[in-house]
A and B are shown apart, each in its own frame.
Chain A
C-alpha cells in the first residue's frame, strides 16, 4: 500500500495538445483525403466484383453508397487508430520516470463531448438519407417490369420459371437467362428450407423463404455470365448450390426462350392414365393433408381447400383462367406452384412418383 500513500506525485504538464499533434493530424487528414479520392476515382474491382462496369442499374447506386461509407469509414478508422498509436508513443512513461508520475488531470470537456456527439450524428443522418434513397430505388425504382419471373430454391438447386414456359429451367445443367436493358422482377421463394438468391455482380439478394414471395428488381446493364449464389445455409450441399445467370441481348434472349418453348412441348408430361383414386386418397392423406383440406376453396390450411377442384369457380385463377383440367393438376403436382396463393413444393421436394401423381389426379378429379 505504501506506493499509493506516497506524497502527492508530480503531474507532467503538457504544452498545448502535445508535441507534434497538429502536424500529425494534418498528415492523417491528407492521407484520408487522398484515400477518399482513390475510392471515388479508382476502380474497386479488388473489393467489389464488376465494379468498374456494373452489371445492373441498382449495383451502381449501391456502389455509390459503398464508396461514401468507405471514404468516411476509412477516415474515422485512421483517425482513431492513428491517434491511439500516436498518444501511446508521445505520452509514454519515459525510462526511469517514477511510477507515481501522473498525467494531466482533466475529467471532461463539455464542448469537446458535444462536438463528438454532433459530428457522428450528422454523418449518420447523411448515411440514413443516402441509404433510404438508394433503398427506395431498389424497391420501387424500376417501374413496371418487362419480365416477371420466379426463382425457387430447392435442396440443392435453383428452379427458374418464366411466364409462357410450361416447364421450368433448372440450375443443374441450365442457366438463367435475362435480356439486356429490360427491367426485370425476380420473385424469390423456396420449396423446402431457407435458401437465398444472390448475384454478387448485381449486389442484390433475397432470402428464399418457403411460403413467402420476395421481389428483386433491377435492369441488367451488361452482357455476360455471372454466378448465382445461395447465401443462406440450406443443408449438406449448401456450398455447391449455385447457378449461372446469362445476360444477353434481347434478340439472343428471345431465341433462347423460343427454344425452351419447343423443348417444353416435346417433353412428355407424366402420363395420367391408369390413376387409381383409392390409392390417390392414401397418398393425399400422407403427403398433402398437412397443407390442403378436402373442403371448399376458402378453407385454407397452407394451400386452398381442394374439394370439387375441377369445377369450383374459384379455382380458375390458379392456372390459366379456366377451371383446372386433370392435366393442370398433374402439372402443379409435378412442378409445384408459386403465385398469389402462396408456394407449393414440386415433386422433387414432395417426393412423389409418377404413379402417385396419376393416382392423386384421379382422386382429386373424382371429388364432385
Chain B
C-alpha cells in the first residue's frame, strides 16, 4: 500500500493535507464540543480523573470497612454497593477512558503525522457518551445502588431492581463508545499514516493502539449483547439468565468474560505501548526487538479472545473444556515474556535518565512482572480451584491493573504532559509522588496474596469468621488500609503538581526529552492543525544519534541533512533528498 498511496503526495501541489481549515471559534466549539483529537484527549483525561477520584474514594471506604473484622463503618448492604461502585467505574469510566481515550486520542494521531483522527465527529460523540454513562451509573445510587460487583453476575444481580437495569444501560453506553473509538482508531492508523511510515516504522505506541482498537471493536459487542439481555431480564422479565425460569447463569458469565478478559488487555496494551516509548527515550537507545514487540502486541490481542473461560474454572464448565483454556492462558505468558525481556534488553547498555516517566516505566517492569507471575498461578486449573474467588485474585489483578495499566498511564501522563501543556511537571513533586505510589501499591496489595491463600474470600463486608481462625488477618488488613493511604497522598500530590505546573512549570520547548517520534517535532502544545505540512518518514523512529528520519517538518528551513545511511536506499519510498 505504501507504493500506491505514497508515491504522489510530495509531488502534488494541492494535496488535501495542504489545506488547513480555519480554527474553531467560540468557547463551546473550542473546548466543549470540540472536534480536535487533542482537546478530546484532554476531555477524556479530565473525565477519567474525576471518575477515578470517585472510584478511589469508594476504594478507601472498602479499606476502612475492613479495618475491623466485623466491619468498621457500614452495613453489609452499603458495603456491597460500595465495592460495586469501586470496580465498575474504575474499569469502564477510568481505565478505558484514560489509557485509550486520553493518551490514545492525544498521542496516536500526532505520532502517525496526521491532523486528526479519521472521523472527528464520531470521536466527539464517543467522548460525550462517557460522562453521560457516568451520570447513569451513579444515578443507580438513587435507587439503592447495584450491589453484585463489577461483574453483576445473575441471578444475584437480578435482585438489584431499577439500579441493576440502570447499571446495564450505563455499561452498554460505555461499550458503544468503545466500539466507535476502536473503529475510528483502526481506520486512522491504517489509512492516515504519514507518507513513508510503513508498518515497521510506526512507533510502538501506535502498534499497541492498533491492537487495542481491534479488541475494542470486536469484544465490546459481546458485552453489549450480554448486558442487553440482562437489561431485558430486569425490565421485561425475559428469563435469559434466571435458572428458576430456565435461564442459564453460565451463559452470562461466558458472554461477560468474552469481553471482559480482552478488556484487561484493552487497558494493558496501551500501557505496553507507553512503556515502549518511554524506555528508549530515557535509555537513549533503540527499542530492542521492535518487530517482536509489535508482533507480541498483536499475539496478545488475538490470544486474548480465546482465554475468557479461565475466569470460570470452578463455575461449572465441563472438565474437558478447561484444558484448552488453560493451555491458551499459559500461552499468553510467552508473548508477554518476550515483551518484558525485550524491555530489559532495551535498558541494558543505555544511558538511563531517571526522570519521573522513566521511574514509572521501570516500576512497571517490576510490578507488572509480579502480576503476570501470579497470573500463571491462577491459570493452572487445579491451583485455581484453591485461589478462585479469594483475595489472591484481588491482589493479582490490582498488581496487573495498578502496577501495569496505572503505572503505564502515569508514565504516559508525565511523559506527554509537557507536550499537552507546554510546561514541565515539577520533578521533585513527581518523584515523591512516584515513591508514595510505588510503596503504597505494593504494601496494600502484596498482603492480599497470602490473605487469599489462607482462605479469605473476596467481596467480604466483614471477615469475623476468617479472623477467628486467622487472627493475623486483622493485622494484615489494617496494614493494607494504612498503606492504601500512601496512594491517596500520591494522587493528591499528582493533582497539585498537574495544576501547579500548568502555571509555574518550566517551559518545555518542542522536545524536552530529546525523543524522536513525530509528536516531539512540533510545538508544545501543538497547533490545532498539528502539522503545517504532512511530514515524510524515512526510517524507524528509535535510532538515537542518527539524523532525524523526517522531512517536511514545519520549519522555515529544514535543519536536517538529508539522510545518507545506506539503509534508507532500500525501503524509503523517496530517493534521498526528495
Residues of A within 8 A of B (CB): 1, 3-5, 8-9, 11-12, 14, 17-18, 46-49, 58, 61-62, 65-66, 69, 73, 76-77, 80-81, 83-85, 87-88, 91-93, 97, 99-109, 112-113, 116-117, 120-121, 124, 127-128, 130-132, 134-135, 138-139, 192-194, 196, 198, 200-201, 203-207, 209-212, 214, 227, 229-240, 242, 290-291, 301-302, 345
User: Assuming A113-B342, A132-B323, A227-B455, what are 11 further A-B pairs, CB within 8 angstroms?
Assistant: A1-B559, A46-B450, A49-B470, A69-B380, A81-B366, A128-B330, A131-B381, A198-B457, A206-B316, A209-B249, A212-B243
* From B245, B248, B377, B386, contact of A291 by CB (8 A): B245
Encode B436-459 as 1/0 by CB contact (under 8 A) with A: 000000000000011001110111
Query: Which of B314, B377, B449, B560 has the most chain A CB atoms closer than 10 A to its own CB?
Result: B314
B427 at the interface (CB under 8 A from A): no
Q: Determine if A66 and B383 form an interchain contact, defined as CB atoms under 8 angstroms apart.
A: yes
Q: Determine if A301 and B369 form an interchain contact, defined as CB atoms under 8 angstroms apart.
A: no
Distance between A210 CB and nearest chain B CB, rounded to angstroms: 4
Distance between A205 CB and nearest chain B CB, rounded to angstroms: 5
Distance between A185 CB and nearest chain B CB, rounded to angstroms: 14
When chains A and B are docked, how far (Å) is the Cα of A5 from the Cα of B462? 62
Q: Determine if B353 and A93 form an interchain contact, defined as CB atoms under 8 angstroms apart.
A: yes
The total number of A-B Cβ pairs within 8 Å is 297
With a CB–CB cut-off of 8 A, which chain A residues contact B460? 238-239
With a CB–CB cut-off of 8 A, which chain A residues contact B323? 132, 135
Q: Determine if B76 and A134 form an interchain contact, defined as CB atoms under 8 angstroms apart.
A: no
When chains A and B are docked, how far (Å) is the Cα of A240 from the Cα of B70? 10
When chains A and B are docked, how far (Å) is the Cα of A213 from the Cα of B546? 66
When chains A and B are docked, how far (Å) is the Cα of A215 from the Cα of B465? 26
**Residue of A whose beta carbon sits closest to that of B315:** A207
CB neighbors of A among B288-337 (8 A): 288-292, 314-316, 319, 322-323, 326-327, 330-331, 333-334, 337
Q: Determine if B283 and A91 form an interchain contact, defined as CB atoms under 8 angstroms apart.
A: yes
Q: Determine if B365 and A209 form an interchain contact, defined as CB atoms under 8 angstroms apart.
A: no
B390 at the interface (CB under 8 A from A): yes
Distance between B489 CB and nearest chain A CB, rounded to angstroms: 24
When chains A and B are docked, how far (Å) is the Cα of A109 from the Cα of B290? 11
**Residue of A whose beta carbon sits closest to that of B468:** A227
The 5 closest A-B CB pairs, nearest first, are A200-B455, A103-B350, A231-B389, A104-B349, A103-B285
Encode B514-554 as 1/0 by CB contact (under 8 A) with A: 10100001000000000000000000000111101000000
Q: List 10 A-B contacts (CB under 8 A).
A: A11-B545, A69-B383, A73-B373, A88-B354, A92-B351, A105-B545, A135-B323, A138-B382, A227-B455, A230-B457
Q: Determine if B333 and A291 form an interchain contact, defined as CB atoms under 8 angstroms apart.
A: no
With a CB–CB cut-off of 8 A, which chain B residues contact A109? 288-289, 345
B250 at the interface (CB under 8 A from A): yes
With a CB–CB cut-off of 8 A, which chain A residues contact B555? 1
Distance between A50 CB and nearest chain B CB, rounded to angstroms: 10
Q: Determine if A87 and B347 form an interchain contact, defined as CB atoms under 8 angstroms apart.
A: yes
Distance between B238 CB and nearest chain A CB, rounded to angstroms: 13
With a CB–CB cut-off of 8 A, which chain A residues contact B380? 65, 69, 127, 130-131
With a CB–CB cut-off of 8 A, which chain A residues contact B354? 88, 92
* From B290, B333, B389, contact of A120 by CB (8 A): B333
With a CB–CB cut-off of 8 A, which chain B residues contact A65? 380, 382-383
Residues of B within 8 A of A (CB): 76-77, 80, 148-149, 153, 155-156, 159, 243-246, 248-250, 283-286, 288-292, 314-316, 319, 322-323, 326-327, 330-331, 333-334, 337-338, 340-342, 344-345, 347-354, 362, 365-366, 369-370, 373-374, 376-377, 380-383, 385-386, 388-390, 449-450, 453-455, 457-466, 469-470, 510-511, 514, 516, 521, 543-546, 548, 555, 559-560
Q: Determine if A88 and B347 form an interchain contact, defined as CB atoms under 8 angstroms apart.
A: yes
Distance between A201 CB and nearest chain B CB, rounded to angstroms: 8
Q: Determine if B155 and A192 form an interchain contact, defined as CB atoms under 8 angstroms apart.
A: yes
When chains A and B are docked, how far (Å) is the Cα of A81 from the Cα of B364? 10
* From A131, A231, A240, A301, contact of B462 by CB (8 A): A240
Q: Determine if B545 and A9 form an interchain contact, defined as CB atoms under 8 angstroms apart.
A: yes
Q: Determine if B455 and A204 form an interchain contact, defined as CB atoms under 8 angstroms apart.
A: no
Q: Determine if B156 and A233 form an interchain contact, defined as CB atoms under 8 angstroms apart.
A: yes
Tell me whether A62 and B345 are in contact in the complex, defined as CB-CB below 8 angstroms, given that A88-B362, A91-B283, A290-B244 are known contacts: no
Q: Determine if A91 and B156 form an interchain contact, defined as CB atoms under 8 angstroms apart.
A: no
With a CB–CB cut-off of 8 A, which chain B residues contact A77? 369-370, 373
Distance between B439 CB and nearest chain A CB, rounded to angstroms: 15
Distance between A148 CB and nearest chain B CB, rounded to angstroms: 18
**Residue of B whose beta carbon sits closest to that of A17:** B348
When chains A and B are docked, how far (Å) is the Cα of A194 from the Cα of B466? 21
When chains A and B are docked, how far (Å) is the Cα of A120 from the Cα of B338? 9
When chains A and B are docked, how far (Å) is the Cα of A135 from the Cα of B153? 26
* From B290, B334, B362, contact of A108 by CB (8 A): B290
Tell me whether A139 and B319 are in contact in the complex, defined as CB-CB below 8 angstroms, given that A210-B249, A211-B243 are known contacts: yes
**Residue of A whose beta carbon sits closest to that of B358:** A88
**Residue of A whose beta carbon sits closest to that of B470:** A49
Q: Determine if B385 and A205 form an interchain contact, defined as CB atoms under 8 angstroms apart.
A: yes
When chains A and B are docked, how far (Å) is the Cα of A109 from the Cα of B288? 8
Q: Determine if A242 and B155 form an interchain contact, defined as CB atoms under 8 angstroms apart.
A: no
Q: Determine if B386 and A235 form an interchain contact, defined as CB atoms under 8 angstroms apart.
A: no
Tell me whether A93 and B327 are in contact in the complex, defined as CB-CB below 8 angstroms, given that A99-B514, A116-B338 are known contacts: no
Tell me whether A47 and B454 are in contact in the complex, defined as CB-CB below 8 angstroms, given that A9-B545, A65-B382, A193-B156 are known contacts: yes
When chains A and B are docked, how far (Å) is the Cα of A131 from the Cα of B374? 15
Q: Determine if B345 and A112 form an interchain contact, defined as CB atoms under 8 angstroms apart.
A: yes
With a CB–CB cut-off of 8 A, which chain B residues contact A108? 288-292
Q: Determine if B153 and A239 form an interchain contact, defined as CB atoms under 8 angstroms apart.
A: no
When chains A and B are docked, how far (Å) is the Cα of A205 from the Cα of B250? 17
With a CB–CB cut-off of 8 A, which chain B residues contact A93? 284, 351-353
**Residue of A whose beta carbon sits closest to that of B561:** A5
Tell me whether A101 and B284 are in contact in the complex, defined as CB-CB below 8 angstroms, given that A124-B331, A138-B382 are known contacts: yes
